[in-house]
Amino acid sequence: MKRFPFDILLTLLLGIGLGLVYSWAISPLRVVDADPVALRADFKDAYRSAIASSYAATGNLPRAEARLSLLGDANSIETLNSQAQRLIASGEFAQADLIVALAIALEDGTTIVTAPTFTSTADNAVTIVKESTATLPPPPPDLPFQFTETPQPIDTQIIETQAVINTTTPRPTRTLIPTVGVPFALVAQDTVCDATLPDGLLQVLVFNSNRRQIAGARIIITWANGEEQFFTGLKPEIGNGYADYSMSPNTGYTVRLASGSDIASELTAPTCQTPSGETFLGGIKLTFQQP
């Protein structure tokens, strides 16, 4: 009878074991310089946050679009809105604002408006002022620059002089001001008498100028003895631009958007009646839209 080759089998198993130990423990594979599309989901969120922060500082929308394309998202705008909703739910409102601003810019094809930046030197300080959306005329060739001195209200007086130069490039600040045009308009205010809805339900819908719902819009509601804030996008099953609030009976409310809007005032939950004659507390539906 032919003997089974146990020595060959043991040698093979020993080789496989040593190979696994070497590849897993001694010298495991390290992935370097991988494309962003290969990142884990949480690392992709961090990558989008970094892109949004960079856009807030530079206002360079084409560069932000190019960086987002490396993630391979099917729809970058919807992905950014979803991430903003998760950030709002976790209480990270500042980062959510940056993400929403980038999503709005991508959807509208606009860029941020940066605040004017003032720079000065110790001697003969020159302050250059220029808005990113304005073009200033050049000074007449036969006139020198005009300087004006403005004392600063601090202990050591600093004198700033101002010169108007049309070839300067504005330096953006860290303050993000999305170009949203004029404030949102209150385009509809409806009374809702639906017995299937919660009593006193205030519903708010926020749209951009293209009739696309906006997630992460901050809504301020005030009444005689208090104030609260709530956000759109927390109920995506209803709509990205949807938010609601439970009103108390016999209380007057005022509602506006934090980013600027018409003011809906003297809102009171209406009294409605069912076909059978029973009364219940109805609701109100407000619709805001960019002109």
The H or E element that residue 51 is part of is helix 41-58
Using only the alpha carbons of the chain, give its radius of gyration.
29
What pLDDT sits at residue 228? 93
Among 206, 259, 237, 212, smallest CA distance to 107 is for: 212
What pLDDT sits at residue 251? 93
Residue 26: half-sphere exposure toward Cβ, Cα within 13 Å: 7
Give CA–CA dist 199/283, Å, rounded.
Answer: 7
Give CA–CA dist 24/113, Å, rounded.
Answer: 51
CATH 2.60.40.10 domain residues, the chain: 185-289
pLDDT digits (tens, 9 = 90+) for 68-114: 999 989 898 989 999 998 999 888 888 888 999 898 988 887 554 44
* Strands of the 226-231 sheet, one edge to the other: 226-231, 218-223, 253-257, 264-267
Please say whether the beta carbons of 134 and 109 come within 8 A.
no
Residue spans of the chain under pLDDT 50: 112-136, 139-151, 154-167, 173-181
Class of domain 185-289: mainly beta
What pLDDT sits at residue 139? 47
